[in-house]
Chain A
């Protein structure tokens, strides 16, 4: 058992060494209370191990009571030691936490307050007072009234509202930007934050604590930012307006571009059409010229028989008429282009006009194996309207001519009917029809469906353009309904203007070829030999003595010299003195002398100017025999 005794001796000595280390060595880093507890444990263990050694070594057996007491104290001392350690550690934590908090408060430069809501007393820290330029001593006694007195009235109201919400539990934290009066009189912006830290058993707030942080700089920055934002918003608004203007400009530019593109396309199309038109015109003029010149040359053949002669003459006349039509169309379109289209309103008998057209086109229709019909729903005096008879005739002529050109079999009917305040004319055929794509284009100038196609029908391509211009000038509208292969219906309306008087113009009895006027003398003033010869032949055949003047001056002299001159045919364009001036001079001594103007100037203006100068009638070249005889009948019979 001495072995155990030696073990106890070692234990004793080790404990003793521990005591020695703690008491006599080291730097005494162990806190006193902890050290005392450890020393106590070591001391008790020393005694305990010593008693065990004594017992086991067999020195004495009487130490049991002390041994039991010491043995019970040892675990108790360990408990105290552990508890002391825990306490120590907790204290350290608490101190460190407090230190951190203090540092944080110092670092944040926050003022703190703690409000006892029962007494109204408030505990402020020094920083709180520093923010508003005071020391705590200057502000004593410290209570909530100080804060209220220093607060801006507007902020106080807002702050109270927030506090009420906090007390009612509507918000968890109180946070409000307030202004406090600085000692120097300025307002200091404060971020005031806080919360209820103690409540009574009814939940009523007892104490509040919080911080004050100066936010003057933030407020200044905020204000500057606000001003910058306002400036930027203003700039932005300006930019937006400019952007809008630019967008609008862009849209306008795009619109102009589109218009320019359209104009360009139209110009290109127009150019193309003009080229095609010129080619077509060349063809249309050369073709009748070919007939005229060709058959005129054939007439020179000495062995030509009478029938052949008549046939050639007829063909020459036909070609001449065709060429005259083309020239007339060209003149009409040039007037339309120049905006010089004149309207001569007169009482027009529509049924008479339709009948005339029917008679005129019937032979051509029969020749082509087509039925030609006309109809009118106008009855009695309704068939008289005030319009430009010539233009109406030309419109219908154009439409019927087109119908004849493009109808190979079937029928063509035309006519009119009353529709409200308008008269609607129509020309219907069973021809090849027109594709819907061309319903508008065919009314454009120089436009023929397939004008580029050499196989297109004869014609200038101006007929429908002229017709539309005439219709619109007369106050109406023209349109077409057509499908390919199903024929076409052209309709146009004219306003129904009832004539004031239905008095018919006086008709004169026309003279005819070969009438004898009884050896009368007439003067033909024309510098062109062919023009003179043509009139000479017509008049000579009627037993008229024909004098010739080659210029206006010569005409005036002859009229003055030969008083037997009964009628003058006066050309307008002549050398030395023109026809109009010659008329004016003749009128000075022969007021009653019939003077007939005959000229290639075919416009209405020319006609009006000529009549104004003193002319009695106006015949445009080429002079038709019928027109000449009508004039002769009017003044000589």
Chain B
């Protein structure tokens, strides 16, 4: 069963993905941009899994969803740590 809010999250997330692809050149100039993007992509993957679990493998996809949340949160925390303690500018 698909929940509306999960679908909205996914659609908005895909919108954000499109934005990152369009402005990839500019976003590359963000400090540790791969780190930040990885956090976002894990989050997006979690949204994909939460929609997908309505159709198949609900247990595993649910588990994958939450693992992705955790990975995204940890990576984001790392990015924040690096950004806070780096001497480099956040945007080059």
Where the two chains meet, the residues of A that have a C-beta atom closer than 8 Å to any C-beta of B are: 4, 7-8, 10-12, 14-15, 17-19, 21-22, 25-27, 29-31, 34, 38, 41-42, 45, 49, 52, 56, 67-69, 71-72, 74-76, 78-79, 82-83, 85-86, 88-90, 92
Other contacts beyond A29-B90, A52-B69, A85-B26: 13, CB < 8 A: A11-B66, A11-B69, A15-B76, A27-B84, A71-B5, A74-B9, A75-B13, A78-B16, A79-B15, A82-B23, A85-B91, A89-B91, A92-B91
CB distance from A570 to the nearest CB of B (A): 138
Task: Considering the complex, give the chain B residue whose CB is closest to the CB of A87.
Answer: B26
Q: Which residues of B contact A19 (CB under 8 A)?
A: 80
Q: Which A residue sits closest to B30, measured CB to CB?
A: A85
Closest B residue by C-beta to A29: B90
A25-B84, A78-B40 in contact; A71/B9 too (CB < 8 A)?
A: yes
CB of A86 within 8 A of CB of B27, answer yes
Secondary structure at the B interface, as helix, strand, loop or mixed, is helix
Complex CA gap A7/B42 in Å reads: 14
Residue in B15, B83, B88 whose beta carbon sits within 8 Å of that of A75 in the complex? B15
Please tell me if B47 contacts chain A, counting CB pairs below 8 Å.
yes
Contact pick for B16, options A7, A52, A79, CB 8 Å: A79
Q: Is B85 a contact of A25 with CB atoms below 8 Å? A: yes
> Scoring B residues 1 to 41 as 1 if CB is less than 8 Å from chain A, else 0, what string do you get?
00111101100110110011001001101100000000010
Listed A/B pairs (16) with beta-carbon separation below 8 Å = A7-B67, A11-B74, A14-B73, A18-B80, A18-B81, A22-B83, A29-B86, A29-B88, A31-B90, A34-B90, A49-B73, A75-B9, A76-B12, A82-B27, A85-B30, A90-B26
Q: Known contacts being A21-B80, A82-B19, A83-B19, is A14 close to B70, with CB within 8 Å? A: yes
CB of A379, distance to nearest CB on chain B (Å)? 123
Residues of chain B contacted by A71 (CB below 8 angstroms):
5-6, 8-9
Contact A15 B77, beta carbon cutoff 8 Å: yes
* A74-B43, A85-B27, A86-B26 given; A14·B77 CB < 8 A: yes
Question: Would you call B52 an interface residue if the criterion is a C-beta within 8 Å of the partner chain's C-beta atoms?
Answer: no
* B contact residues around A83 at 8 Å (CB): 19
For B5, give its contact among A49, A72, A89 (CB under 8 Å).
Answer: A72
Once the chains are docked, how many angstroms separate the CA of A508 from the CA of B37?
154
Kindly state the separation between the CA atoms of A21 and B79 in the bound complex, as whole angstroms.
10
Assembly CA distance A88 to B76 (angstroms): 20
Interface pair A38/B80, CB less than 8 Å apart: yes
B43 near A26: Cβ-Cβ < 8 Å: no
**Chain B residues with Cβ under 8 A from A68's Cβ?**
3-5
User: CA of A15 to CA of B81 in the docked complex: distance in angstroms?
Assistant: 11
Q: Which residues of A contact B43 (CB under 8 A)?
A: 74, 78
Tell me whether B12 and A8 are in contact (CB under 8 A).
no
CB distance from A163 to the nearest CB of B (A): 41
Tell me whether A18 and B76 are in contact in the complex, defined as CB-CB below 8 angstroms, given that A7-B70, A90-B26 are known contacts. yes
Q: Which residue of B lies closest to A88 (CB)?
A: B91
* Residue of A29, A42, A72 ringed by the most chain B CB atoms within 10 A: A29
Residue of B nearest to A1 (CB): B62
C-alpha gap A247/B52 in the complex (Å): 101
A626 to B79, CA, bound (A): 154
Taking a contact as CB atoms closer than 8 A, the residue among A21, A67, A72 that contacts B84 in the complex is A21
Q: Is the CB of A14 within 8 A of B84?
A: no
The interface residues of chain B lying within 8 Å CB-to-CB of A56 are 66
Question: Is the Cβ of B74 less than 8 Å from the Cβ of A14?
Answer: yes
Q: A14-B77, A49-B73 are in contact. Are A89 and B26 (CB under 8 A)?
A: yes
Chain B residues with CB under 8 Å of A82's CB are 16, 19-20, 23, 27
